[in-house]
Amino acid sequence: MSQIPKIIHYAWFGGTTKPKYLLDNIKSWEKYMPDYEIREWNETNWDTNKNKFSTYFTQKKIWGFVSDSLRVDVLNKFGGIYLDTDVYLTQSLKPFEEMPLFLSMHFSNAIGTALIGAEKGNSTISELAAYYDSLTVGQIRAENFDPVNNGIFTRYFIDKYEEFKFTNHRQVLSDGSVIFPNYTFVVPSYCRKKNFAIHQLKATWQDNIENVEKKSLSLKKMAKKIINSFSVGQITLIRYSLWKQSKSNSIASQFGVRGIPKR
């Protein structure tokens, strides 16, 4: 088995000062992955006009969507682990290093993309990068187009993998790609050793930096909970919130919450 390159990729567009939550999260990456290079991508080292998708959202300064195109591009070219800026590591990711592609569910009916590990040139990542490159402005502006990458990834997996299911259980796909339950990389687990990362869900495609900074108090509370561990009640409330969201996302309107229709 080939080991993924020891690179952590993240995006920081817009040129603003990095907020405390990001600096704290980077410290967690350094703590648990000390032998990895941490590589920041921004306007100076990545072409924000690479495709129509990134150009369109760069002009609107919606940096979260710009990072969607970037993550598949840099993972395809270099391999490694991509982390959203609001991902806090709770353990080392070394147990996953020999997998060709790993990620987790976010909702019960949608794949999470805040943490993605991939070998260089992985076919799934390569095809997703090509998809972003193929999008036209007309497609992006179409009323029924869903630009959120959870939906883009999920629809791709539905089309590519006959065995892919809407389930919050570990799935090993035909090419060795592994999709983990959401408590692995997104939400805390009732069993602490099963959780490796917390996605703090800052939604940078919706919030500008001022709005993110206004949430600093809730971020501090989140960090304290991560350090001290979550109570059973807190974990249950978080999971219930995600379940409610799964009933109203774009995937639910097309495929439902629990099942993928027969092809």
pLDDT in tens, 82-127: 999 999 999 999 999 999 999 999 877 789 999 999 999 999 999 9
Give yes or no for a contact between 33 and 92, defined as CB atoms under 8 angstroms apart. Answer: yes
Give yes or no for a contact between 107 and 151, defined as CB atoms under 8 angstroms apart. Answer: no
Q: Is 210 helix (H, G, I), strand (E, B) or coil?
A: helix
pLDDT band at 256 (very low <50, low <70, confident <90, very high): low
Q: What is the 8-class DSSP label of residue 110?
A: E
Q: Which residue has the tokens 């949430």?
A: 215
pLDDT value, residue 170: 96
Segment (H or E) for 127: helix 123-134
Which carries the bigger pLDDT value, residue 234 or residue 204?
234
What's the CATH number for 7-255?
Answer: 3.90.550
Joined together, the tokens standing for residue 209 give 């930096």
Give yes or no for a contact between 106 and 251, defined as CB atoms under 8 angstroms apart. Answer: no
The neighbouring-strand residues paired with 261 are none
Going 82 to 218 to 244 to 209, the CA torsion angle's sign is: negative
Q: What is the pTM of this model?
A: 0.82
* Max Cα distance, the chain (Å): 48
Joined together, the tokens standing for residue 197 give 């990362």
In this predicted structure, the answer to whether residue 2 has a pLDDT above a threshold of 80 is: no
Interacting residues of 138 by C-beta distance below 8 A, sequence separation 6+: none
Q: What is the 3-state secondary structure (H, E, C) of 121-168?
A: CCHHHHHHHHHHHHCCHHHHHCCCCCCCHHHHHHHHHHHHCCCCCCCC
Mean residue pLDDT across the chain? 83
